[in-house]
Chain A
Amino acid sequence: MSLDKATVAKVANLARIRVEEEDLEGLASELNSILDWVEQLGEVDTENTPPMTSVADMQLRWRQDEITDGGYQEDIVANAPSPEDGFFGVPKVIE
Chain B
Amino acid sequence: MGMIIQGATGDWEVVIGMEVHAQVMSKAKLFSGSATEYGAEQNSQVSFVDAAMPGMLPVINEMAVEQAVRTGLGLKAQINKYSVFDRKNYFYADLPQGYQISQFLQPIVGEGKLTIDLKDGETKEIGITRLHLEQDAGKSIHDQHPTMTLVDLNRSGVALMEIVSEPDIRSPEEAAAYMKKLRSILRYLGTCDGNMEEGSMRADVNVSVRRLGDPLGTRCEMKNLNSVRFIQQAIIYEANRQVDILEEGGEIDQETRLYDSVKGETRSMRSKEEAHDYRYFPDPDLLPLQFDDAFIEKVKADLPELPDEKKARFVSELGITPYDAGVLVAEKEVADYFEAVAKGRDAKLSANWVIGELFGNLNRTSKSLSESPVSADGLGELIDLIKDGTISNRIAKEVFEEMFESGKAAGVIVDEKGLKQVSDTGAIEAAIDEVMAANMDKVEEYRGGKDKLIGFFMGQVMKATGGKANPGVVNKLLKPKLDG
B62 touching A64 by the CB < 8 A rule? yes
Interface size on B, residues (CB 8 A): 51
A69 touching B65 by the CB < 8 A rule? no
A88 touching B62 by the CB < 8 A rule? no
Contact of A95 among B27, B32, B258 (CB under 8 A): B258
- Identify which of residues 49-95 in chain A touch chain B, using a CB-to-CB cut-off of 8 Å: 53-54, 56, 58-71, 73, 75-77, 82, 84-95
Interface centre among A13, A53, A63 (most CB of B within 10 A): A63
Q: Scoring A residues 5 to 24 as 1 if CB is less than 8 Å from chain B, else 0, what string do you get?
A: 00000100110100000000
Bound-state CA distance A60–B28 (Å) is 18
Chain B residues whose C-beta falls within 8 Å of the C-beta of A84 in the assembled complex: 145, 148, 150
Interface centre among B43, B48, B49 (most CB of A within 10 A): B43
A67 touching B34 by the CB < 8 A rule? yes
A65 touching B151 by the CB < 8 A rule? no
B151 touching A87 by the CB < 8 A rule? yes
Q: Look across to chain A and name the residue whose beta carbon is closest to the beta carbon of B61.
A: A65
Bound-state CA distance A65–B142 (Å) is 33
Chain A residues whose C-beta falls within 8 Å of the C-beta of B269 in the assembled complex: 95
Bound-state CA distance A53–B42 (Å) is 37
- B1 in the interface (beta carbon within 8 A): no
Interface centre among A53, A75, A85, A93 (most CB of B within 10 A): A93
Bound-state CA distance A87–B93 (Å) is 12
Bound-state CA distance A90–B145 (Å) is 10
B61 touching A67 by the CB < 8 A rule? no
Contact of B287 among A59, A66, A68, A91 (CB under 8 A): A59
Instruction: Give the interface size class of chain A.
Output: 35 or more
Bound-state CA distance A79–B209 (Å) is 50
B277 touching A14 by the CB < 8 A rule? yes
A93 touching B149 by the CB < 8 A rule? yes
B42 touching A86 by the CB < 8 A rule? yes
Contact of B33 among A16, A66, A90, A91 (CB under 8 A): A66
Closest CB-CB distance, A73 to chain B, in whole Å?
5
Q: Look across to chain A and name the residue whose beta carbon is closest to the beta carbon of B25.
A: A65
A70-B47, A73-B41 are known contacts. Are A65 and B27 too (CB-CB below 8 A)? Answer: yes
Closest CB-CB distance, A46 to chain B, in whole Å?
17
A60-B289, A73-B42, A73-B44 are known contacts. Are A92 and B149 too (CB-CB below 8 A)? Answer: yes
- Identify which of residues 373-428 in chain B touch chain A, using a CB-to-CB cut-off of 8 Å: none
Chain B residues whose C-beta falls within 8 Å of the C-beta of A95 in the assembled complex: 142, 258, 269, 271
Bound-state CA distance A62–B60 (Å) is 5
Bound-state CA distance A67–B63 (Å) is 12
- B103 in the interface (beta carbon within 8 A): no
A76 touching B148 by the CB < 8 A rule? no
Q: Look across to chain B and name the residue whose beta carbon is closest to the beta carbon of A90.
A: B93
Bound-state CA distance A58–B290 (Å) is 11
Contact of A89 among B62, B64, B150 (CB under 8 A): B150
B149 touching A89 by the CB < 8 A rule? yes
Interface centre among A56, A65, A76 (most CB of B within 10 A): A65
A14-B275, A70-B35, A70-B46 are known contacts. Are A53 and B28 too (CB-CB below 8 A)? Answer: no
Q: Look across to chain A and name the residue whose beta carbon is closest to the beta carbon of B148.
A: A89
- Identify which of residues 283-306 in chain B touch chain A, using a CB-to-CB cut-off of 8 Å: 286-290
B142 touching A67 by the CB < 8 A rule? no
A65 touching B51 by the CB < 8 A rule? no
Bound-state CA distance A11–B352 (Å) is 65
Contact of B84 among A53, A62, A65, A87 (CB under 8 A): A53
Closest CB-CB distance, A52 to chain B, in whole Å?
10
Q: Scoring B residues 34 to 61 as 1 if CB is less than 8 Å from chain A, else 0, what string do you get?
A: 1100000111111111110000000111
A62-B62, A73-B44, A73-B46 are known contacts. Are A93 and B287 too (CB-CB below 8 A)? Answer: no
- B153 in the interface (beta carbon within 8 A): yes
Closest CB-CB distance, B363 to chain A, in whole Å?
37
Q: Look across to chain A and name the residue whose beta carbon is closest to the beta carbon of B91.
A: A16
- B190 in the interface (beta carbon within 8 A): no
Closest CB-CB distance, A11 to chain B, in whole Å?
9
Q: Scoring B residues 177 to 201 as 1 if CB is less than 8 Å from chain A, else 0, what string do you get?
A: 0000000000000000000000000
Bound-state CA distance A67–B35 (Å) is 6
- B282 in the interface (beta carbon within 8 A): yes
Chain B residues whose C-beta falls within 8 Å of the C-beta of A65 in the assembled complex: 26-28, 61-64
Closest CB-CB distance, A32 to chain B, in whole Å?
20
Q: A14-B275, A71-B34 are in contact. List 18 more A-B contacts (CB 8 A).
A: A54-B288, A60-B288, A62-B62, A64-B62, A65-B27, A66-B33, A67-B28, A69-B47, A70-B47, A73-B41, A76-B43, A76-B153, A87-B152, A88-B150, A90-B140, A91-B147, A93-B93, A93-B149
29 A-B pairs whose Cβ atoms sit less than 8 Å apart in the complex: A14-B275, A14-B279, A16-B91, A53-B288, A59-B290, A60-B60, A60-B289, A64-B61, A65-B62, A65-B63, A66-B27, A66-B28, A67-B27, A69-B32, A69-B47, A69-B49, A70-B33, A70-B35, A70-B44, A73-B46, A76-B43, A76-B51, A76-B153, A84-B148, A88-B150, A90-B93, A90-B148, A90-B151, A92-B145
A interface with B by C-beta (< 8 Å): 10, 13-14, 16, 53-54, 56, 58-71, 73, 75-77, 82, 84-95
